[in-house]
A and B are shown apart, each in its own frame.
Chain A
Amino acid sequence: AQSVTQLDSQVPVFEEAPVELRCNYSSSVSVYLFWYVQYPNQGLQLLLKYLSGSTLVKGINGFEAEFNKSQTSFHLRKPSVHISDTAEYFCAVSDPSSNTGKLIFGQGTTLQVKP
């Protein structure tokens, strides 16, 4: 069965510093990959997705992620974070051979941006 591992449960960082949130998945077949953000007391919003093509994917709010097939990773990065980026971030993977549209989510990483 597929699984997604987010290697850090919490990432504290100062405002305007760069940040990387790590995500690894277990599948040996082609997959689709997603990053979602959850602000306090809200549902999840799509940040970006990798379906095919360029391995560097740009998303909303200045975030980007790089797909690395050999390392089965999909790390999320931002060169300079703001206080408003404080939120929980979820990595998710789907199986292109599945016909259900199901996603497998990681455990989440809480990004804490300090002034």
Chain B
Amino acid sequence: DVKVTQSSRYLVKRTGEKVFLECVQDMDHENMFWYRQDPGLGLRLIYFSYDVKMKEKGDIPEGYSVSREKKERFSLILESASTNQTSMYLCASSFQGRVTYSNQPQHFGDGTRLSIL
């Protein structure tokens, strides 16, 4: 089974802090994704990466950055945390596929519930 591990289940930080959320997958997947989940809004894509050192903005990248130095690890960075970034953050990974890229399901970690005070 695919294992996607997020480093923290719960995290409390203060406004203005630099916050790192870490995600590691063990299936050699090319694609990795960061989402935030808020009640009534579903999952919104923050950033994704399709290869080491490659990244693309998702739908809500403002206030966030990402790092992918190794294939198995994808980090989400809140440069200066604000209270409106209090949310559940979900990491996912997927296999890229050889012929078509979009028929592969995404595999999710258990999430990090981040509170910014």
Contacts and interface: CB of A to CB of B under 8 A. Distances in A.
A108 B101 contact: no
Contacts, number: 72
Interface string A98-109: 111111011110
Nearest to A46: B105
Interface residues of B, number: 30
A45 interface: yes
Contacts of B42: 90, 105-108
Nearest to B45: A102
Contacts of A51: 103
A18 interface: no
B31 A100 contact: yes
Contacts of A105: 42-43
Nearest to A32: B103
Interface of B: 4, 9, 31, 33, 40-43, 45, 48, 50, 56, 58, 90, 92, 94, 96-97, 100-111
Interface in A14-64: 32, 34, 36, 41-46, 49, 51
A95 interface: yes
Q: Majority SS of interface residues in chain A? A: loop
B115 to A, nearest CB: 15
A101 B109 contact: no
B102 A49 contact: no
Given A36-B108, A96-B103, A102-B102, 4 more contacts: A44-B108, A99-B50, A102-B48, A105-B42
Given A34-B105, A100-B56, A42 B110 contact: yes
Interface residues on A, range: 20 to 34
A96 to B, nearest CB: 5
Given A43-B90, A107-B40, A101 B110 contact: no
A113 B102 CA distance: 33
Contacts of B100: 96
A105 B106 CA distance: 12
A2 B53 CA distance: 27
Contact of B105 (A42, A49, A106): A49
